[in-house]
Amino acid sequence: MILEARSREYCEARVRAGVLEQGTRDVLIEAGVGDRLQAEGLVHGGIHLRFAGEDHRIALGELTGGRTVTVYGQTEVVKDLIAARADSGAPLLFEAEDVELAGVDGDRPVVSYRHAGAAHELRADLVAGCDGFHGVCRRSIPAGILSTWERGYPFAWLGVLAHVAPSTDELIYARHDRGFALHSMRSTEVSRLYLQVAPDEELDSWPDERVWAELRSRLAYDGWTLQEGAVSEKSITPMRSFVAAPMRHGRLFLAGDAAHIVPPTGAKGLNLAVADVTALAEAIEDWYATGSAAGLDGYSERCQRRVWRAQQFSWWMTQMLHVDPGDDEYGHQLALSQLRYLTSSTAAATTLAENYVGLTVSRVSAT
Ligand code: DHB
């Protein structure tokens, strides 16, 4: 049984990130929800780093033995998952209200909720808390159980979706004196662009002309032109790093943003969530098939390694590519030196590439 707080329309319209690691793509195809992803996703074998008037390509494929990323919006992944669930006939309730958990310590947790005006109670074997950072699941764990670690950033991202063919074949990550900019895409007709802005920035102060002017100056490169188009979505994403562990309390298992948040630079959020639920699904299958709880018992620890790798990678990409308004010239020079090293040393570029395309989603053995 899946309980979703929002409406189907909301879930299918919400714009999120758009880069799938090789392992995420493989898992979605294996799970039978990869048809549209294979038909419409754009496979990228490289990214560009732009800084100090230079542009350098990091050859992801060549540096990782042929692993690549697929540009396919999280919104599209969500649509595909909802459609597959609807086809399966298994229950998926939208607009579930007042969801509460009880008894996760025991062997029959109870999930209560309201739907279409009526109160309901579910008696579950297990509860998967996939309800995001602000969801009810993590908050249901009694005080003193979870350890948490976090870091804030003195900036946010302003993102726009623009109906114009991307001005680049591959993503461009730019560090500029005025701040970070990213040129991404959703299709051959739709561009997705981001700008570093102040954390308390108001959308009203960013009319389209200002967004384009700022993108033009931060992404500028000799002989290259940014194509502009109609903006259909504009939003501000706060930046936060956060980890809670263990990702399990009794019969409740946390996955994705319910347990951890990364800043968006490097697009790890969705990929980490897919890795969590892949590990959890295998552990649950194993438990029902063999009665062994080894997979469930090892779930949190298994996920934590990848979680912390993504934490470090996302933090590193973020501090290297953004201009911290409180930082001095020394910090700026360190970031430029790091970018120069990455774009001149195969060893350094390989570090970026293998993290970017993602660690292999390892399988739990049934032993
Ligand atoms: C996108 C988002 C990211 O955070 C990123 O690193 C690359 C691309 C995107 O939304 O397309």
Q: How confident is the model at residue 359 (pLDDT cuts 50, 70, 90)?
A: confident
| Percent above pLDDT 70 for the chain | 98
Distance 184 CA to ligand 1 centre (A): 6
Average pLDDT over residues 229-244: 96
Best residue for ligand 1 mutational test, from 74, 183, 184, 317 (most atoms within 8 Å of Cβ): 184
Average pLDDT over residues 140-154: 97
User: Mind listing the pLDDT tens digit for each residue in 256-301?
Assistant: 999 999 999 999 999 999 999 999 999 999 999 999 999 999 999 9
Terminus-to-terminus CA distance in the chain, angstroms?
28
So what's the pLDDT on residue 360? 66
Cβ–ligand 1 contact at 158 (below 6 Å): no
Cβ–ligand 1 contact at 172 (below 6 Å): no
Residue nearest to atom 7 of ligand 1 (CA): 267
Average pLDDT over residues 8-22: 95
Q: 169: which 2 tokens?
A: 């074949």
Q: H-helix or E-strand containing 54?
A: strand 54-58
So what's the pLDDT on residue 364? 42
Residue nearest to atom 5 of ligand 1 (CA): 267
- Partners of residue 127 on adjacent β-strands: 252
**In 3D, which of 193, 198, 199 has the Cα closest to residue 212?**
193
Best residue for ligand 1 mutational test, from 74, 76, 161, 192 (most atoms within 8 Å of Cβ): 192
User: Mind listing the pLDDT tens digit for each residue in 178-194?
Assistant: 999 999 999 999 999 99
**In 3D, which of 71, 356, 47, 15 has the Cα closest to residue 187?**
71
So what's the pLDDT on residue 265? 98
Average pLDDT over residues 340-354: 97
User: Mind listing the pLDDT tens digit for each residue in 213-225?
Assistant: 999 999 999 999 9
Residue nearest to atom 10 of ligand 1 (CA): 17
User: Mind listing the pLDDT tens digit for each residue in 89-98?
Assistant: 999 999 999 9
> What's the rounded Cα separation, in Å, for the pair 287 and 325?
50
Distance 264 CA to ligand 1 centre (A): 7
> What's the rounded Cα separation, in Å, for the pair 128 and 280?
8
Q: How confident is the model at residue 106 (pLDDT cuts 50, 70, 90)?
A: very high
Judged by DSSP in three states, 119 sits in strand
Residue nearest to atom 11 of ligand 1 (CA): 18
Contact 88, 81 (CB under 8 A): no
Best residue for ligand 1 mutational test, from 19, 172, 317 (most atoms within 8 Å of Cβ): 19
- Partners of residue 224 on adjacent β-strands: none
